[in-house]
Amino acid sequence: MINRDRLVETFLTLCRMNTPARAEAPVADYLQARLEAIGMRCVRDAAASVTGSNTGNLIATLPATAAGAHTIFFAAHMDTVEPNPNVQIIVEDDLIRTDGSTILGADDRAGIAPLVEALETIVEQGIPHGTIQAVFTVCEEVGLLGAKALDRSLIEAPFGYVLDSSPPVGAVVSAAPSQDSFTVTITGKPAHAGAEPEKGISAIQVAAHAIERMRLGRIDPETTANIGVISGGEATNIVCPRVTMAAEARSRDPRKLAVQVQHMVDTWQASASAFGASVDVQIEHQYDAYRFAEDDPVVALALAAARKVGLPATMKEAGGGSDANVFNAMGLPTCVLGTAMTGVHTHEERALISDLCATAELVVAIVAEGAARQR
C-alpha cells in the first residue's frame, strides 16, 4: 500500500531542510506544492505575525469522497529543535541517522513525511474517506506558539491526531501534563567580598538556600519540577547582588501542579526573607493538561485502526506537552500518535524506515476506519 521508496525520499528531503523555529517557510512551500498536486486546498493563516516566523501555519484540506464519513485532522510541526545546516545523513539498512554532528530532524519530520505519504496513497488508490485536514504548525519547539496562534476557523474537523511522539507506532498518548514556567529574580546587596562582605546580601546564597529546600525532580508519578537556568554575579570580589533563574513545573493533575507551584513560590520567598533579600517570581502558564479514556471516540478510533493493520494498540501517558495540548484547550479532542522518532533533541536522533512506513499505514487506517464507522 505505502510507497516505501517515496516515503524515505520525502523524509530525507525534509531532514535536509534547515528550518528551526521562525524559519519554516521552505518546508511549508515544499508541502504546499506536494499537497496541491493531489487536489488539496491549501491556506496559510496569520500566525507569522504573532510568532515571528517567516510563514504562517499551513492548513491543507482534502474533500470527502464518502458521504457521512468522519472529518479528521492530522497535525505535525515544521520546525526543528535547533539548526542543522550541514546535516550528514546516513542510511544503514532500516536505520536513518546522522554522523552525530547535528540533529536529524526526525522531530517532527517523522510525523510530516508519513502524513504526506498517507495522503498521496489515499488519493492514488481511491480509498474512500471523509474530509481530511493536514495542519502543519510553526514554532512548536519554542512554546507551541504556532498552535496557539492557529486560526481556529480554518479547522473543519471536530477531532484529530498529532504525529509527534516516539515509538511504538500504534501507541496513543491519552494523557499529557499542564506546565507552568517561572522567571525568578533574586535581588540582594553588593559589597566588597574581601573588605566588608558582611555588608552584602548574596543573591547566590539565597538561591542556594531556596534550591536546597525545594522539591525538585520527580515529585510523584504525575508531577515534575526543574530549575534549568541560573545566572548572576559579576566578579569573585563582589558579593553577588542579583540572580535570575528559569524553572518549570509540570503535572498531569492540575491540582497537583497548583500545589507544586505554590510550594516553589513560597520557598523562594521564605529564603529571600531569611537573608533580607527580595524576590520577584513571574509565572507563565504554558499549556493545559488533557486526559482521555480508552472508550473516548478519538482514542477508540485510533486503537481500532492500529489493530486493523497489526500494530500494538496501546495507550501511554506523556511527561511533556505538544500541539495536542493546545488543540484540546481549543475544544478539539486530540491525541498524539507514536511515530519513528527516537533520541529526539540530541545528536543521536534516529528513525527506522519500518516505523516510518507503519506510521503512514496507521494514518491511512484511521481514515479508512473513520469512513467505515461514519458519523
What DSSP string runs through 228-290? EEEEE-S-TTB---EEEEEEEEEESSHHHHHHHHHHHHHHHHHHHHHHT-EEEEEEEEEE--E
CATH number of 178-287: 3.30.70.360
The alpha-helical segments, DSSP class H, found in the chain are 4-15, 25-36, 47-51, 106-124, 145-148, 203-213, 254-275, 297-308, 323-329, 353-373
Residues 6+ apart with CB under 8 A from 237: 192, 193, 194
Q: What is the model's pLDDT at position 250?
A: 98
Tell me if the bond preceding 168 is cis, omega within 30° of 0.
yes
Residues 6+ apart with CB under 8 A from 247: 181, 182, 184, 225, 226, 227, 228, 264
Instruction: Report the pLDDT averaged over residues 17-36.
Output: 98
Q: Are 230 and 169 in contact (CB under 8 A)?
A: no
Residue 39 banded pLDDT, cuts 50, 70, 90: very high
CATH number of 4-176+289-373: 3.40.630.10
Instruction: Report the pLDDT averaged over residues 262-272.
Output: 98
Q: Classify 297 in phi/psi space as left (phi over 0), alpha (psi -120 to 50) or beta.
A: alpha
Residue 364 banded pLDDT, cuts 50, 70, 90: very high
Q: What is the model's pLDDT at position 375?
A: 58
Q: What is the model's pLDDT at position 373?
A: 76
Instruction: Report the pLDDT averaged over residues 96-117.
Output: 97
Q: How many CB atoms lie within 10 A of CB 82?
A: 14
- Residue 119, pLDDT above cutoff 70: yes
- 71-80 tens-digit pLDDT: 999 999 999 9
- 153-200 tens-digit pLDDT: 999 999 999 999 999 999 999 999 999 999 999 999 999 999 999 999
End-to-end CA distance of the chain: 26
- For the question of residue 140 being annotated catalytic, the response is yes
- Residue 360, pLDDT above cutoff 70: yes
Percent of the chain with pLDDT over 70: 99
- 230-262 tens-digit pLDDT: 999 999 999 999 999 999 999 999 999 999 999
Q: What is the model's pLDDT at position 372?
A: 87
Residue 1 banded pLDDT, cuts 50, 70, 90: confident
- For the question of residue 348 being annotated catalytic, the response is no
Q: How many CB atoms lie within 10 A of CB 95?
A: 12
**Domain range summary for the chain, segments of one domain joined by +:** 4-176+289-373, 178-287
Catalytic residue among 140, 180, 361, 369: 140
Instruction: Report the pLDDT averaged over residues 343-371.
Output: 97
What DSSP string runs through 70-94? PPEEEEEE--BSS--TT--EEEETT
- Residue 229, pLDDT above cutoff 70: yes
Catalytic residue among 24, 45, 79, 180: 79
Residue 143 banded pLDDT, cuts 50, 70, 90: very high
* Residue 98, helix vs strand vs coil: strand
- Residue 374, pLDDT above cutoff 90: no
